[in-house]
Amino acid sequence: MQIVRRLVVDLRARANAWSLSVDVAERIRAAAPAGWEVCFVEAPTVSDGDGGSAPSDEVLRAVRGAEAYFGFGISPTLFTVAQGLRWVHSASAGVGRLLFPEMLASSVILTNSAGVHAVPMAEYALGGIIFLLRSFDAARELQRARSWDKEAFVGRGSTIRELRDCHVLVLGAGGIGAAIAQRLSLLGSHCTGVRRRPELGAPEGFDIVVGPGEWEEFLPSTDVLVVSAPGTAQTETIVSASVLDRLPEDAIVVNVARGSLVDEQALADRIARGRLRGAVLDVFHEEPLPADSPLWGLSSVLLTPHVSAVSPRGFWERESALFIDNWHRYVEGREMLNVVDREAGY
């Protein structure tokens, strides 16, 4: 009797943009290697953050005896029930909540979706940077006031600049950071990247890439600081008050990584005092962002509720291609893509 190997797909997200569609489900089913069955969980799940939300009763039943699990992260509870798991693939890029003690102590292969979100997040960052470089924040306030006033654009206090005049420092020169640098460099910006292992070289779009101990010397000449590094113990509050104080007064800060990487209070204080030009923020220390956060009241801060990665069609095209490729690599014993480095935390 042939032993059937089981994949559990738990991707019916409550948010429509992240919920598995019928056509993608069929694509996964059709790609199943010989001897595999696919169990699609119909109970809703949560796709926010790093995933790993409380599991439904349906998925708890489905993972018993499963060899592979494909979801938005995985919770300790679900992991404990799924004793036969050998591979977990997360549709999220971040894995902070997935590195719980049981996972760290296991030999289960953990892969993530790093790079899958790079295109929409790069376009988000580009849009936000242009928003401030062209003083669209001032335009928005003038429109609300029904005021025809050119002073913010043509007066002494104007901060309008072209992208070609900007030096961009990107903290995290991985898939997302590289996609941002590619777009900015094509529009004339000069981009410096920061990565844990600079010996791996500079991805397309960067003039140079430096290591963790070298990037602060570039701060005084940085017009745009982009934060796109993984959230780990090593990157917590990497953009501190002292880092912000070394930036030029007209500098822009962009955070599409995790809220833990930036000192939000220090950032809000410096923007409120006119010490920095403004910020583009999609992630925060606490989400939802509390109503009493000073960031809400700053017109030169563009806030979004952790949605920079949203791109339903593009995401599922890239995500399904990555997963199916990895599935066949797993079955054939080949090197897999996006294997999480448990020690590094991403």
Q: Which residues are catalytic?
A: 258, 287, 306
Residues facing 239 on adjacent strands? 262
Contact yes or no for 212/150 (Cβ under 8 A): no
User: Which DSSP state fits 45?
Assistant: B
Phi then psi dihedrals of residue 191, to 5 deg: -115, 130
For the record, the structure tokens of 301 come out as 């801060």
Contact yes or no for 99/345 (Cβ under 8 A): yes
For the record, the structure tokens of 90 come out as 């997360």
Helix (H, G, I), strand (E, B) or coil at 303: strand
Contact yes or no for 53/98 (Cβ under 8 A): no
- Reference 115, options 18, 6, 37, 228; nearest CA is 228
For the record, the structure tokens of 240 come out as 């501190």
What separation, in Å, do the N-terminal and C-terminal C-alpha atoms of the chain show? 40
